[in-house]
A and B are shown apart, each in its own frame.
Chain A
Amino acid sequence: MPPKGKAAPKPKGTENIKPSTSSSNSTSSPAAQQPTTSTSPSGNTPTAPSTIGERSQQRFHESRPFDAARQKLGLSGLSQAEQTGWVSSQLAARSSTSTGSSRRTTPRLGPKAQRELWRHVNDASLPIRTLKNKKSAPTPADVWGTDRAGQKIAGYSIARYEERAAKRTALTALQVTSRAFREARERAKRGLVVTRDHREQPIVLVESAKDVQEEKQRRRQMAALRRELYGEMTGEFRQDPEWDGVEPIPQVEPEAALATISYPEEYAEAISYLRAVMLQKEYSPRCLRLTDHIISMNAAHYTVWLYRAANVFALQLPIPDEIDWLNGVALANLKNYQIWHHRHLLVDNYYPTLASGPPSTLSRFADSEREFLSAILAHDTKNYHVWSYRSYLVSKLGLFDAAEIAAMAALIGDDVRNNSAWSHRFFVVFSDPRQSTPGTAATDADPAVPREVVDREAQYAMDKIYLAPQNQSAWNYLRGVLVKGGRGMRSVEGFVSEFVRGLGEGEEREDVLSTHALDLLAEICKEKGERERADLCLRRLGEKWDRIRVGYWEWRRRCLDDGQ
């Protein structure tokens, strides 16, 4: 018995099979009488297929000559001849393809019926094999799937498809060659080579640069083909024979992770290689190149910087070379922090070499550093990281010198309000170990500072105040200098008074050219015990000249009472 549930009606027993070519009724189509490969059973005029999908469909129908008509009209709607043809082709196909258990379900024909069947099959040139539909592909055309653009490959023209097939073949060929390269390299690593009779012999193979170059070229072609055929992206590193043997560790985020970033492919791949080499604690030129690559994409990645430093030191690279490289990176990433810590580490490492050489070595290095710092500060005169480094450099190399002070004078000359330059000048002048007491707070007096230095710096500040009296940088500097020199503020009373006129003499006559002068004047008055006048200065600041800070000026007034 035929298994139940099969949709297609099946012939029941042998009596149904009466192969005959003689009779035909009026409904039979001409096609049914002459089912040849050039004519489709459905009666449509065959045309050359334009796509491979159509071609598949045609071949499918050609292998099932009566199917289309039967599906349309039903078995009983077919002519006798067609019925015979359909049944015969079904049986022929079944007996030629069925195996094992399915054969048991095939109706068994007697010898005579068999002969009859095969004669009919021969006469009518019925195909003895039918194409089947795959479960996953409901129509024959679906079997081709889609390409990387999501287009159905079935829609490809024959020529286009053949081109694609050729590329697949080419890819396979490249893969085979590439695998041979890798295997040879593996063996070479183990000191073995394969002889003609497929035995491994211990020979050291030196791979030529040409081989590597060819392999590189090959992988580039493979990557291009994979991309074109399947839309697969092959990362740069995967393509590079240099990175064979390193298994990248891709970033795996927990499903719920917050603030995840859709990294560009190139970055994600590079980082996955970084993780791998860091885990292996590998220090090598290729690691150095890897860090360069990542830094060029994301200079804010502190881990890669520290790893780069470790590589530089492990490989004992010349520090000046690394600094040259770093200069380019710094100019491309003006706001970056890590660059300057890296430079700091480089100088720490280089210093013993510098210090042990002739003095000219150190001074040449100092000059080149200062030259670069000037260049970078020209782009951003108040860059905090650059100034932090400059302060470190001065301490490390002992650059408390005229050149450093001149460099600050130049910057202050360009913009008298550049507070970074003022701050650095203060450091260079008052932290010079030759004329300062180590460990003195910046806000405390230091008796080790020579009198003429205090005079000089105070005069410098006052000269600059004349240029722009409301510039707080210069006033803060002046005050800082006087404190360092242990001088009272009253030592500049005459100067300060120049910026405050007619104080307390009414709106018409009172004029203040600098709130900072008025602030300082309050302090001078307090020093002199002129409490009322000090209070007047502070009151006028809060009332008129610097109202946004009124709360502060009020507090300062309270300080007058508390003996502060």
Chain B
Amino acid sequence: MIPDLFTELPPVRDALVTETSKQQDKTADLCLSYLAGDSGEQLLEYNEHGVPRLRRDSHVRFLHKSLGPLPAGFMAADASRPWFLYWALSALVILGEDVSHYREAVAETARAMQNDSGGFGGGGRQLSHLATTYAIVLSIALVGDEDAYEVIDRKAMWRWLCSLKQTDGGFQLGLGGEEDIRGAYCAAVIITLLNIPLELTPESPAWKEDGSATLFTGLAGYVRRCQTFEGGISGQPDVEAHGAYAFCALGCLALLDHPRRIIPRYLNVPRLVSWMSSRQYAPEGGFSGRTNKLVDGCYSHWVGGCFPLIEACLSPVDEDKKGGTAAAAAASKLPPAPESLFSREGLIRYILCCCQDTSKRGGLRDKPGKLSDAYHSCYVLSGLSSAQHQWELAPSEETSPATGRADPVWRVMPYLEDNDENDVQIFDQKDRLRPIHPVYAIPIQSQEAIRDYFLVVDGLKKL
């Protein structure tokens, strides 16, 4: 009932023992016992495919708790409280929970973290930071509604973003802070979600007298410089390829243009796909973040979340609407992806067998033996949701009332294992999660609501 792919060690293994192989062997052995259901932990009953149920209630409890007052042990999280909001709210939404009752609390919390000079810090009176600002903006989008949206001072946000924009195309995370690809992704999300004007202020380091530079100038080029010889993406140019940064790179590019056009133009796609696919291990089934590193549940999102974007990049050009995109299609002669570029079954097994904290604590985790936390809960569930759905970036049938354009829109459908009679759905239908936007990582409705709100606002009064 469980394929031997997930019950046995892989057929090719080396004899040489090093620190890396010791860790890997230990992890594989540990995961094997969880995948087979004989870990000794009081897991729930396994279904006929050897997969346990999602412990929804206990995860929901864990997530609500991580929004409440936190004990002194969380002191080290003092500069990342916005992340706790996003992780918990996002995970709750993926689990199908209604989070609108947190609206006022999110607005209040956000207001206290906003700086007059633009952006949100990790807490009250902390310097603004792109990562915490990203987390706050998405949290606001998740709880929704005008009252929450209006907390954001977009004019100050725009000025602040301009001050972070660097001449090499990238973004600093904070004034005087580091510049890396997280900045590129977070800035692109904030700019497009809030309809921030692209022109630069003269105070921006990237400002040019002829007015030719914008917030997006050179951004894709910056992303390109982060691709390494392995094909993956590093946090900054000239460093090791890393899963979290791969998602940031593809997410950023997907916001700048259609993935089919922009990804092949800036990245070596065959190498990238090879590297992405190498992140999935057997028998564990989960993804690792780097070559020769261990699987970790959070990469279910960071690496797993790259696949819908790559699939969109490889998607065939619609025959009827060849027109303008024909040239782009010709430039990329890559074939479309098969049904799935990665093993959805492997990832789903890893998540449901290895990443659930089965104790009273609840929540999801990196791997067996690690404590669950809000971060892993969010990204493990996001990865599970992604593995259960199929995304398509389709030409829109109607023009958006807000933009007046017929932009391609992301369409989602459940991924059904019905293309082959051997394929069966291994998880319980009740455990199918809610889909979230492959780039913004919030439900598509939440993303459209906040985007349209600010588009309309700008129709009435310019920023």
* A interface list, Cβ under 8 A from B: 249, 251-264, 267, 271, 275, 278, 297-303, 306, 309-310, 341, 344-345, 381-382, 384, 387-388, 391-392, 395, 414-420, 423-424, 426-427, 430-431, 441-444, 467-473, 476-477, 479-480, 483-484, 512-515, 519, 544-552, 554-555, 558-559, 561-564
Contact = CB atoms under 8 A, between A and B. Distances in A.
B334 interface: yes
B109 A254 contact: yes
A552 B342 contact: yes
B178 interface: yes
Interface in B225-240: 225, 227-231, 234-236, 238-240
A564 B11 contact: no
A261 B239 contact: no
Given A249-B125, A443-B231, A261 B74 contact: yes
* Residues of B in contact with A, size category: 35 or more
Contacts of B230: 423, 476, 480
B455 to A, nearest CB: 28
B20 interface: yes
Contact of B20 (A417, A441, A545): A417
B138 to A, nearest CB: 14
Contact of B18 (A275, A415, A546, A550): A415
30 contacts: A251-B125, A253-B112, A257-B108, A259-B70, A262-B69, A275-B125, A302-B122, A302-B174, A303-B121, A303-B126, A341-B177, A345-B176, A391-B236, A417-B20, A417-B292, A419-B240, A423-B228, A423-B229, A423-B241, A442-B228, A444-B268, A467-B16, A472-B291, A477-B229, A546-B12, A548-B5, A551-B337, A558-B336, A558-B338, A559-B335
Given A387-B240, A552-B341, A563 B333 contact: yes
A442 B227 CA distance: 7
B290 interface: yes
B84 interface: yes
A393 to B, nearest CB: 11
Given A253-B124, A258-B109, A549-B343, A297 B70 contact: no
B238 A262 contact: no
Q: Which 9 A-B pairs have the closest CB atoms?
A: A480-B229, A417-B20, A552-B277, A558-B335, A548-B282, A423-B240, A259-B84, A254-B108, A443-B268
Contacts of A392: 236
Given A558-B335, A562-B334, A302 B285 contact: no
B343 A548 contact: yes
Contacts of B225: 441
A291 to B, nearest CB: 14
Given A384-B242, A423-B230, A548-B5, A562 B341 contact: no
A471 B234 CA distance: 20
B12 A513 contact: yes
Contacts of B333: 562-564
Interface stretch (B99-107, B246-254, B376-384, B407-415): B99-107
B271 A391 contact: no
A303 B119 CA distance: 14
Given A391-B238, A423-B228, A442-B229, A298 B78 contact: yes
B108 A555 contact: no
B338 A554 contact: yes
A512 B346 CA distance: 23
B274 A552 contact: yes
A495 B285 CA distance: 31
A83 B118 CA distance: 82
A547 B290 CA distance: 20
A306 B176 contact: yes
Contacts of B126: 301-303
B340 interface: yes
Given A306-B127, A470-B14, A262 B335 contact: no
A547 B11 CA distance: 10
Contacts of A555: 273, 314, 335, 337-338, 341
Given A259-B70, A344-B178, A419-B292, A472 B229 contact: no
A259 B66 contact: yes
B1 interface: no
Nearest to B108: A254
Chain A binding site: helix, strand, loop or mixed by DSSP?
Answer: helix
Query: Which of A302, A469, A513, A559 is the most central at the interface, judged by chain B CB atoms within 10 Å of its CB?
Result: A302
Contact of B341 (A395, A427, A483, A551): A551
B80 A300 contact: yes
Contacts of A341: 177-178
Interface string B51-63: 0000000000000
Nearest to A389: B239
Contacts of A564: 270, 333-335
Nearest to B284: A548
Interface centre among A259, A415, A548 (most CB of B within 10 A): A259
A546 B104 CA distance: 51
B124 A468 contact: no
A467 B343 CA distance: 30
A253 B124 CA distance: 8
B335 A562 contact: yes
B111 A254 contact: yes
A257 B72 contact: no
A249 B126 CA distance: 13
Contacts of B228: 423, 426, 442-443
A450 B80 CA distance: 47
B70 A298 contact: no
Q: Max chain B CB contacts within 10 Å: which of A477, A546, A555?
A: A555
A514 to B, nearest CB: 6
A561 B122 CA distance: 51
Given A300-B79, A427-B238, A484-B229, A416 B18 contact: yes
B333 to A, nearest CB: 5
Nearest to A513: B12
B78 A260 contact: no
A261 B70 contact: yes
Given A254-B108, A259-B85, A551-B338, A381 B19 contact: yes
B293 interface: yes
B238 A303 contact: no
Given A387-B240, A415-B19, A551 B339 contact: yes
Contacts of B125: 249, 251, 275, 278
Contacts of B88: 259
Q: Give the most central of B20, B88, B122: most A CB within 10 Å.
A: B20
Interface in B87-123: 88, 102, 104-106, 108-109, 111-112, 121-123
Contacts of B335: 555, 558-559, 561-562, 564
Given A423-B240, A548-B280, A559-B270, A443 B227 contact: yes
Contacts of B346: 548
A441 B240 contact: no
A420 B176 contact: no
A278 B106 CA distance: 26
Contact of B79 (A301, A484, A515): A301
Contact of A303 (B19, B75, B122, B277): B122
